[in-house]
């Protein structure tokens, strides 16, 4: 798949992926006047668990460095009641590199809870979302579709288009979940007009160079088995390019 989004000076052939987990940590409620002899503060347990989560190892990648752990949120406690916190929720964000999965990351946290002796107090689940989670991927730089993007770009623009790897995520990561035979690349459209373009920019600012590039890619990819041109909001631009750039 080719995602036609603004990269301006490179073709991205690799992105990290990203997951978010909800971690529920249980304690034991009691009136605060009896604490700490009675009750168990879930905030303290969750805080200790959060600190250790961020120390967990991750896989490495030669171009995208490594994965990361980030405890982004912690919620729990009673503002208007004299009660020891008996439940606390952590929001854990996990950036991953190819080879790491939702289940492998979850297992890391489960194993950590066991080592800390709190496995019976911790529940870990992948946070539900409407779209698939964004998976990490890397496409070989010598892949046929990558070479095609770079060749047609140089033919049209006159300069080389280097390959790049991104530490964040983008829409192309979602295509990894479709289990297609594909190449997922992001090509720049920034060179073809004066100003940066958003999703709702009218067709008028686009010039013939962009149209020629999309037309070449479109017809080239029709000849490659399993290939797909995908542009979330811009497929109509590709069709328009085919008509205008003849």
Q: What per-residue confidence (pLDDT) applies to 71?
A: 98
pLDDT band at 92 (very low <50, low <70, confident <90, very high): very high
pLDDT of residue 189: 34
What is the distance between the alpha carbons of residues 14 and 198, in angstroms, rounded to a whole number? Answer: 22
155: helix, strand or coil: helix
234 or 119, greater pLDDT: 119
Report d(CA 161, CA 173) in Å as an integer: 21
Determine the pLDDT at residue 146. 84
pLDDT value of residue 158:
86
Q: Return the percentage of the chain with pLDDT > 70, whole number.
A: 70
Q: Return the pLDDT at 236.
A: 44
HSE (CB half, 13 Å, CA atoms) of 138?
20
pLDDT digits (tens, 9 = 90+) for 168-184: 888 777 765 543 333 34
**Pairing state of beta strands 163-166 and 65-66?**
unpaired
**Which residue's structure tokens are 């929720």?**
89
pLDDT tens digit string along 22-55?
999 999 999 999 999 999 999 999 999 999 999 9
Query: Which residues 6+ apart lie within 8 Å of 126 measured at CB?
Result: 19, 20, 21, 22, 102, 106, 133
pLDDT at 173: 79
Position 197 scores a pLDDT of 36
pLDDT of residue 3: 65
Strands 185-186 and 2-3: parallel
pLDDT reported for residue 107: 98
**Average pLDDT of the residues in 127-150:** 88
pLDDT at 216 over 50: yes
Measured between alpha carbons, how far apart are the two ends of the chain, in Å? 23
What is the Cα Rg of the chain in Å?
24
Residues contacting residue 188 through CB under 8 Å, at least 6 positions apart = 6, 7, 8, 9, 10, 11, 153, 161
Q: Pick 187 or 218 by higher pLDDT.
A: 218
User: Between these two residues, 164 and 105, which has the higher pLDDT value?
Assistant: 105
pLDDT band at 194 (very low <50, low <70, confident <90, very high): very low
Mean pLDDT, to the nearest integer, of 101-121? 98
Least confident among 115-119, 142-146, 164-168: 142-146
Per-residue model confidence (pLDDT) at position 215: 73
Q: Name the pTM for this structure.
A: 0.77
């Amino acid at each position: 798949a080719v995602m036609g989004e603004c990269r301006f000076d490179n073709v991205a052939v690799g992105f990290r992926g990203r997951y978010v987990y909800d971690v529920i940590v249980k304690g034991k409620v009691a009136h605060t006047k009896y604490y700490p002899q009675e009750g168990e503060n879930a905030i303290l347990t969750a805080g200790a668990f959060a600190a250790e989560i961020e120390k967990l190892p991750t896989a490495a990648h030669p171009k995208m460095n490594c994965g990361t752990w980030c405890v982004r949120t912690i919620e729990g406690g009673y503002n208007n009641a004299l009660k020891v916190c008996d439940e606390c929720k952590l929001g854990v964000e996990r950036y991953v590199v190819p080879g790491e999965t939702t289940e492998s990351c979850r297992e890391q946290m489960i194993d950590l809870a066991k080592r800390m002796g709190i496995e019976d107090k911790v529940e870990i689940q992948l946070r539900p979302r409407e779209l698939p989670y964004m998976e990490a991927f890397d496409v070989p730089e010598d892949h046929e579709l990558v070479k095609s993007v770079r060749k047609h770009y140089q033919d049209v623009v006159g300069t080389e288009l280097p390959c790049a790897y991104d530490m964040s995520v983008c829409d192309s990561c979602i295509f990894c979940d479709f289990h297609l035979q594909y190449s997922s690349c992001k090509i720049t459209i920034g060179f073809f007009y004066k100003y940066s373009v958003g999703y709702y920019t009218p067709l008028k600012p686009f010039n013939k160079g962009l149209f020629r590039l999309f037309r070449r890619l479109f017809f080239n990819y029709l000849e490659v088995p399993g290939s797909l041109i995908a542009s979330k909001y811009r497929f109509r631009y590709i069709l328009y390019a085919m008509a205008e750039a003849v």
